[in-house]
Amino acid sequence: MKRILFFTFVFMLIIVSCKTLKVSKKEYTPIDLSEDISYSNHIKPIIENNCLTCHSGEFASANLTLEKYEEVIAAIKNDGLLNRINNHEKPMPTSGLMPKNARMTFQKWADNDFLKVSENPVKQTEEENFVFNPPTINAVDIEKNGFEFMNKIQGHWTGKMFLLGQKLPWFSFDFRAINTSQVHGMFEGGSMGNLFNTFFVGEFKGTKTIMLRNGGILSGIYRTSYFVLTEANENEYLFVDAYGGKDIMWVKIKFGHDKMNMTTYTSKFGSVKSSRHMEFEGKLQNEDLAQQAAEKFNYPTKTVFKSFPNGMPKPDWGKEYETVTSASYMMMADSSMDYETLGKWAQDPIQISDLENIARLNLVFERDDLSRDKNISVYLSREPLTDSNDKMKMEYDYISMKAMNQVILFPQINKNQKQFELTYLHTGKCYITFVVDNNKDMVPNKGDFYSKSIELNLNSETIQKLSVNMIDKSM
Ligand code: HEC
């Protein structure tokens, strides 16, 4: 069976790992296949540039890490690596086959018994100095045009997601006002990203406009990226990187009748030609929560939440990465740092404490129920997923679609994880249900373990704590 761990790959508008941040030369330089092919000189750089965004860290795609010499060899011997990098139908990387020379380099390396280091160091080719001239960004003036976007984006959207070459059958975004000129949505396709999109009224170089802040913590990296609205037609809105412009990355949102389509393109900070990163198409399911929030916060108004009179402050990516191409603020997370500290170190212009009316929930996994040694999917939903007898709401052998469409967030907790803090949550009532997805098909269905749904009342003042020790039912 295919080991697609649909939730194990991480999800963000852009996938960034510090390892791939390096702005490399755009063109691939072919390797001279007549020389000794070694891991350190040839294979490792190709893997760093093409594979590690997905195949590294705790939440590596397909649970496959390719960070070490031994791991790459094991992947060739056991996981069909050579087949996958040459497979037009199911290519690795998922975005399409690498140049033939790069693929042959792997073959030659394998044929020659996986030389680790070569006696002959490769001549260092001179890296061209990469100069980046940011474009002028002309923000849409919402006093004239485009402000209706803030109304349209609100709501709970559920639908299909295309992400990094894969189609996910179910996904959702839940956008609700968190103050008078800001709408916020969490989304989560797995792991512990705590990822969010927040649209707010900002002032960008003297123009009152709509900006997007996107980010979270993913694979141990704190990142937020900022976008500015540069095109607004009645049904189509374009947000571009607030420093590097459209060439670096962009997000387009289209509205149809009760439908929303969100497409994002990224160039990995200018290191590759920009390509589609994700596409979501959803239907507006439940407007009530968004409506309540809008009423509560007198949303939407044109009150400026944050001003950037001179554009975005230039991020500091450290000495190693002198060329900054994007309004993205980053910091390697280590477990001793909390969100506040990370945000400060990343020099993020908006800190988590600047966001009002968001909640946090601390989950502690006891692991002495049916979840021992298993990953846990956490479902936050508007309505309970279990009925009055604490049984999962089902249709045939699956969770009913009606119940599934109540889900607003669904992070996955790794089997070794003992604790996890959900941040950036909406306040108010919701339900939480824990599922162990035994057959790894991403949907609660027959054979999976689960807990009854518990009601939560989240507020922005206290961090609630929940001890998870009630996954005791079988579907
Ligand atoms: C954009 C994310 C992404 C990139 C980049 C990527 N992979 Fe993958 N890879 C996946 C996902 C997701 C899967 C699991 C689904 C599948 O098998 O198609 C996977 C599966 C695999 C598998 C099969 C593992 C198994 O146990 O079945 C191999 C081998 C592999 N990748 C190798 C590579 C190599 C080598 C590269 C770089 C040349 C690479 N991948 C780049 C996402 C990626």
Of all protein residues, whose CA lies closest to atom 2 belonging to ligand 1? Answer: 54
Residue 181 sits in the same domain as residue 293: yes
- The response to whether residue 4 sits with its C-beta less than 6 Å from ligand 1 reads yes
Region of 183 (left: φ > 0; alpha: ψ -120 to 50; beta: rest) is: beta
Domain end: 324, 354, 384, which one? 354
- How many CA atoms, within 13 angstroms, populate the side-chain half-sphere of residue 39? 14
Please give the pLDDT value at position 408. 81
Q: Phi/psi of residue 39, each to 5°? A: -60, -55
With H, G, I as helix, E, B as strand and everything else as coil, classify residue 87. Answer: coil
Evaluate whether residue 130 is within a structural domain.
no
C-alpha distances (whole Å) from 318 to each of 16, 19, 315, 331 are 15, 13, 9, 10
Query: Could you tell me if the CB of 74 is within 6 A of ligand 1?
Result: no
Distance CA 285, CA 287 (A): 6
- Region of residue 220 (phi > 0: left; psi between -120 and 50: alpha; otherwise: beta): left
Q: Both ends of the chain: CA-CA distance in Å? A: 22
Which of 63, 96, 111 marks a domain boundary?
111
pTM of the model: 0.70
In a domain, 141, yes or no: no
pLDDT in tens, 379-424: 889 999 999 999 999 999 999 988 888 888 777 787 888 888 888 8
Longest dimension (CA), the chain: 71
Does 291 share its domain with 427?
no
To test the pocket of ligand 1, the residue of 64, 67, 68, 164 to mutate (highest count of ligand atoms within 8 Å of its CB) is: 64
Residues of the chain with pLDDT under 70: 1-27, 119-130, 164-166, 187-194, 219-220, 335
Residue 117 lies in a domain: no
Residues 375 and 335 in one domain: no
Q: Are residues 449 and 345 in the same domain?
A: no
Residue nearest (by alpha carbon) to ligand 1 atom 28? 81
Distance, CA of 217 to CA of 423 (rounded, Å): 10
Measured from the CB, is residue 93 less than 6 Å from ligand 1? Answer: yes
The number of the ligand 1 atom at minimal distance from the alpha carbon of 46 is: 38
> What range does the domain containing 79 cover?
24-111
Number of domains in the chain: 3
Task: Find the CATH number of the domain harbouring 350.
Answer: 2.40.128
Query: Looking at the domain assignment, is residue 7 inside a domain?
Result: no
CATH of the domain at 467: 2.60.40.1120
**323 and 297 together in one domain:** yes
How far is the centre of ligand 1, averaged over its atoms, from the C-alpha of 55 (Å)? Answer: 7
pLDDT score recorded for residue 260: 96
Say yes or no: 163 and 301 in one domain: yes
d(CA 114, CA 223) in angstroms, rounded, equals 36
- Note whether 328 and 226 are same-domain residues: yes
Q: Is residue 68 part of a domain?
A: yes
Q: 63 C-alpha to center of ligand 1: Å? A: 9
Q: What share of the chain is helix, strand, coil (3-state, %, to 5)?
A: 15, 35, 50
**Residue to probe by mutation, ligand 1, list 51, 105, 275, most atoms within 8 Å of CB:** 51
Q: What is the pLDDT of residues 290-301, one digit of tens each?
A: 999 999 999 999
Which residues lie closer than 8 Å to 407 by C-beta, 6 or more apart? 158, 172, 379, 380, 381, 385
Hey, how many other C-beta atoms are within 10 angstroms of the C-beta on 446?
13
- Domain end residue (candidates: 308, 323, 354): 354
The alpha carbon of 61 and the centre of ligand 1 are apart by a number of angstroms equal to 6
- What sign does the dihedral 251-24-89-67 (CA atoms) show? negative
Cα 74 to ligand 1 centroid, rounded to whole Å: 14
Residues 184, 275: one domain?
Answer: yes
Q: What is the pLDDT of residue 331?
A: 85
> What is the chain's mean pLDDT, rounded?
84
Are 348 and 364 part of one and the same domain?
Answer: no
Tokens of 222: 């704190």
Same domain membership, residue 268 and residue 198: yes
**Predicted pLDDT at 130:** 64
436 and 317 part of one domain: no
Question: Is 53 a pocket residue for ligand 1 (Cβ < 6 Å)?
Answer: yes
Q: Whose CA is nearest to atom 33 of ligand 1?
A: 92
For atom 15 of ligand 1, the residue with the nearest CA is: 4
- Whether residue 364 lies inside any domain: the answer is yes
